[in-house]
Amino acid sequence: ADGELVQYHYGLKDLVTILFYIFIAIILHAVVQEYALDKINRRLHLSKVKHSKFNESGQLVAFHLTSFIWCLYVVVTEGYISNPRSLWENYPHVYLPYQVKFFYLCQLAYWLHALPELYFQKVRKEEIPRQLRCIALYLLHIAGAYLLNLTRLGLILLLLQYLAEFFFHMARLVYFTDENNEKLFNVWAVVFVVTKLFTLTLYILVIGFGLPRVESQALDPERGNFFSFLFNNILFRMSVLLLVCLFQASVMWRFIHFQLRRWREYWNEQSSRKRAAAASTKQQTKLLKRDSGYHENGVVKAENGTSPRTKKLKSP
């Protein structure tokens, strides 16, 4: 009422808040599983492997869609999209608005809740290393942006990442319901390339041009200034940009390899279908010939062994 703007900082009490929302995330996970995914699985009658992947994609579709809408609302209302300079101006961004801090705490809680869910969902042993690697990468990036006062940059990067991941898992859900429908994979491919280009551009803009121009260039951990003095060194700045470009190039290489493998499988499947159709047509032709009669010693005979020609009656 008095017009004061309350802002927040991170601290040890965040751990209690994160623990509380871990339990909330487990409950919401169970609700989505029981009232949506399990009912769809009963109708589809999927195999065990597809059943596990369907549950994983179903949960992530709900989470990525919710997080994308929430993150978009935050960056629009805070003006981070309309004013890109705000991503590095007045760094370090030690004090956060309530909705930014709450978003980060909920993100950390969700990815931490994914660890016990590996046991609750009885994930196969072959899938556990891949999912642990994914959870660890999300926790590392989100916690790093939160603790190192790069929350504004982290929000934009999460927005782009969740958009691409939503289309990927949505395409997997559609594929499990109808294996002939792969149109959404093509949409995901376009969205993935566009988001990676925006991500690389954002890294270059913030690291190459933004942080080196920050007024306070001295190392000051008490004020949360961890990076600006490093990025003032052109050698360090170019090394970081090179590492970022190499990482994005490796991601694009894996993506291209995945697309080539998918197209190769698609064309192999199409060619096998054509061969099967040609073989069935040839077999039907043989059956038609056999139905009309068969040859024995150069004479066409019917199925009962008699000659199909009419016998001439002798005159009495």
> What contacts 55, CB < 8 A, 6 or more positions away?
33, 37, 41, 121
Considering the entire predicted model, what is its pTM? 0.80
Cα(160)–Cα(198) distance, integer angstroms:
8
98 or 48, higher pLDDT = 98
Q: What is the pLDDT of residues 10-25, one digit of tens each?
A: 889 999 999 999 999 9
Cα(300)–Cα(295) distance, integer angstroms:
4
Per the domain annotation, does 292 fall within a domain?
A: no
The torsion angles phi and psi of 96, rounded to 5 degrees, stand at: -115, 145
Percent above pLDDT 90 for the chain:
39
Per the domain annotation, does 60 fall within a domain?
A: yes
Cα(200)–Cα(236) distance, integer angstroms:
18
Per the domain annotation, does 290 fall within a domain?
A: no
Per the domain annotation, does 245 fall within a domain?
A: no
DSSP state of 119: H
**For the chain, how many structural domains are there in total?**
1
Cα(174)–Cα(44) distance, integer angstroms:
12
DSSP state of 247: H
Per the domain annotation, does 196 fall within a domain?
A: yes
Per the domain annotation, does 303 fall within a domain?
A: no
Q: 60 is written with which tokens?
A: 């992530």
Per the domain annotation, does 41 fall within a domain?
A: yes
* Residue numbers of the domain that contains 230: 7-236
Per the domain annotation, does 101 fall within a domain?
A: yes
Q: What is the pLDDT of residues 181-238, one digit of tens each?
A: 778 888 999 999 999 999 999 988 888 787 777 665 555 556 656 665 566 667 777 8
**How far does the chain reach from its first CA to its final CA, in angstroms?**
127
> Token pair 């080196």 is at which residue?
212
Per-residue 3-state assignment (H helix, E strand, C coil) for 56-87:
HHHHHHHHHHHHHHHHHHHHHHCCCCCCHHHH
Other CB atoms within 10 Å distance of the CB of residue 283: 10
* pLDDT number for residue 315: 46
